[in-house]
Amino acid sequence: MTTLRPYQDAAVAAVYEHLATSDDNPCIVIPTGGGKGVIIGKMCADVVERWNGRILVLTHVKELVDQNATQASRFLSPLLVGVHSAGLQRRDLDHPVIVASIQSVYQKAFDLGRFDVVLVDEAHLLPPDGEGMYQTFLRDARQVNPRLRLVGLTATPFRLKDGPICGPENLLQRVCYDIGVKELIRDGFLSPLISKAGKASADTSRLHVRAGEFVPDEVESLMNEDALVHSACAEIIEQTRARRSCLIFAAGVAHAGHVVSTLREASGVEAACILGSTAIAERDRLVGQFKRGDVRYLVNVAVLTTGFDAPQVDCVTLLRPTLSPGLYYQMVGRGFRLAPGKQDCLVLDFGGNVVRHGPVDALRVSARSGAGSGEPPAKECPQCQTVIAAGYATCPQCGFTFQPPDRDRHEREATSAGVLSGQVTTTIYAVRSVFVAVHQKRGAPDDAPKSLRVEYEVSLHRSYREWICFEHSGFARGKAEAWWRARSRLPVPTSAAEACGLVHAGALARTVQITVRSVAGEDFERIVDWTLEVAEPRSDQDEPAYEAPTPYADDDEPPF
């Protein structure tokens, strides 16, 4: 049985809590290499074995269909997992779990029958509107089951032209769980990255933009200049002498061929090229050689991004500029995975992408534009070409000291944004007073579960709130029980109204301080810890002061 990592377990629990307590459709954000497939496999097993339901896993490339079906079969009998994909030459219809390519099933919702949950992998490809394949399938699937629930998984929750994929009018409404690259690198689940700008980087200032991206023909013409190709390849060879597998993203077909021939001639080692027109058998052969180490340099043109799994990649080279933060992330993300003997992954950037978009854990996307605005979130060290966050005064690699910014300009208006998106700030506040009330979700029916709203006043004009869900089930109820037991010896209330009455009667220990966590780039702050007034010693017969809730109970109702 596969054991989930702590953050994978938390992501699954967050989905179930969201489905049980909200009517909209949630999305999980897990970095590339963070194991979305394991989460998919676990959810497939839960839907089938715990709740006797059916689940459909949708994606857009056969490699991911195959990977997700394999993951589901690690948690369930393979006999329960069907595949519907023309690329894999299978067209199963009746299994409890169906893993499918959207291209193969978007007109077959009625043939596939009733599903309780549709799980969309690479959910950033869901279009916001129109008559796309996903909308066509989901419209028909909801005729079969009007209570169908939709869940998305992605590493990049935004699109170039449309901004964030979650919104009130979109197919997915809210991110229910999000963990960043920094956290997974820190905890040893992803490979560290080292970013360097190429000394021969191209000047993209004269490129034109069409539909939110650089014009492709202009990009290839710029990057395919003979002097730039030769100098870039020389630098790639120099920087990768101690590395095993270098994945290179070229700007076009002619550019890719030019790079391959130059690398072969200059390095004397094997280089290969994969294009969109490369036959499947030939592509598989070249990828196999690359993974075995027979090919050190593998050049491609927008092919080996989503679904390409080669953990040994220890250098990613960007020989093309892009305005798309999603494409940039997908390219760099090929180096995130861990492999034996791999210490880190070097990112060589000849297109100004790291400076343009920032480190991959600091992408900044505006509501309607992928390109962002304002000052670049990163900068290049002129001495060693390492690309670092804009806030560094001294290069951590070589010690170069940057000139200080215009103090007059910056002291007039200090920014509150973190240097990196996801930068965490915690603040402890003394609590002046606490107010409680029964809370009902706006627009919810009268019989819908209610919660206890707890508001902590920390100053005359500042307060923080939390909602305690006594009337919910599963994870939410478990959290409510733990919250109550940490504050009272009385039995846990069964309703928000009962809890409110007990609080007004003095049943809870007084909250002295709260700790509030804020994350740069997020709209809301969250209470993460409390200091309670010291109570008299507890006896052995008392209920425990705190009992950590399990992520979800074995006997809870299905959340969908």
pLDDT band at 505 (very low <50, low <70, confident <90, very high): confident
Whose structure tokens read 């709260």?
A: 514
Burial of 101 per CB tally in 10 Å (0-12, 13-18, 19+): buried
pLDDT in tens, 20-29: 999 999 999 9
Rounded-to-integer distance, Cα 206 and Cα 326, Å: 23
Query: Average pLDDT in the 228-246 region?
Result: 94
Could you say which of 388, 411, 434 is where a domain stops? Answer: 411
- Residue 294 placed within a domain: yes
What's 347's domain CATH number? 3.40.50.300
132 and 248 co-located in one domain = no
354 and 218 co-located in one domain = yes
229 and 206 co-located in one domain = yes
pLDDT at 226: 95
260 and 400 co-located in one domain = yes
pLDDT band at 417 (very low <50, low <70, confident <90, very high): very low
Question: Which long-range contacts does 355-358 make (Cβ < 8 Å, 24+ apart)?
Answer: 355/197, 355/379, 355/380, 355/387, 356/321, 356/323, 356/328, 357/325, 357/328, 358/389, 358/390, 358/420, 358/421
- Residue 401 placed within a domain: yes
283 and 358 co-located in one domain = yes
Q: Is 516 in contact with 464 (CB distance < 8 Å)?
A: yes
Rounded-to-integer distance, Cα 19 and Cα 27, Å: 11
- Residue 560 placed within a domain: no
In whole angstroms, how far apart are CA 274 and each of 215, 348, 490? 22, 19, 67
End-to-end Cα separation, the chain, in angstroms = 25
18 and 111 co-located in one domain = yes
pLDDT band at 539 (very low <50, low <70, confident <90, very high): very low
pLDDT at 541: 44
pLDDT at 391: 53
Is pTM, for the whole model, over 0.85?
Answer: no
254 and 347 co-located in one domain = yes
3-state class of 280 per DSSP? helix
- Residue 223 placed within a domain: yes
pLDDT in tens, 256-282: 999 999 999 999 899 999 998 899 899
* Number of domains present in the structure of the chain: 3
209 and 324 co-located in one domain = yes
Give yes or no for residue 502 having a pLDDT over 60. Answer: yes
The values of phi and psi at residue 428, to 5°, are -100, 130
Any idea how long the chain is?
A: 560
pLDDT at 195: 84
Q: What is the largest CA-CA distance in the chain?
A: 83
User: How much is the mean pLDDT over the chain?
Assistant: 83
Q: Is 296 in contact with 251 (CB distance < 8 Å)?
A: no
Report the percent of the chain where pLDDT is more than 90. 51
- Residue 552 placed within a domain: no
Could you tell me the two tokens for 205? 């200032």
Query: Identity (one letter) of the amino acid at 24?
Result: D
In whole angstroms, how far apart are CA 39 and each of 51, 120, 264, 476, 554? 17, 12, 41, 20, 18
Could you say which of 349, 383, 411 is where a domain stops? Answer: 411
pLDDT band at 385 (very low <50, low <70, confident <90, very high): low
Compare 550 and 142 and report the one with higher pLDDT: 142
487 and 403 co-located in one domain = no
- Residue 420 placed within a domain: no
pLDDT at 444: 77
118 and 224 co-located in one domain = no
10 and 95 co-located in one domain = yes
Whose structure tokens read 């869940």?
A: 151
Compare 268 and 129 and report the one with higher pLDDT: 268
Rounded-to-integer distance, Cα 296 and Cα 243, Å: 8
Rounded-to-integer distance, Cα 298 and Cα 259, Å: 10
The domain in which residue 407 lies consists of 191-411
The lowest-confidence range among 83-92, 413-422, 459-468, 469-478 is 413-422
339 and 441 co-located in one domain = no
pLDDT at 407: 38
- Residue 178 placed within a domain: yes
Burial of 536 per CB tally in 10 Å (0-12, 13-18, 19+): exposed
Q: Is 260 in contact with 286 (CB distance < 8 Å)?
A: no
- Residue 419 placed within a domain: no
pLDDT at 474: 78
pLDDT in tens, 334-363: 999 999 999 999 999 999 888 888 777 666
Could you say which of 376, 411, 446 is where a domain stops? Answer: 411
Give yes or no for residue 216 having a pLDDT over 80. Answer: yes
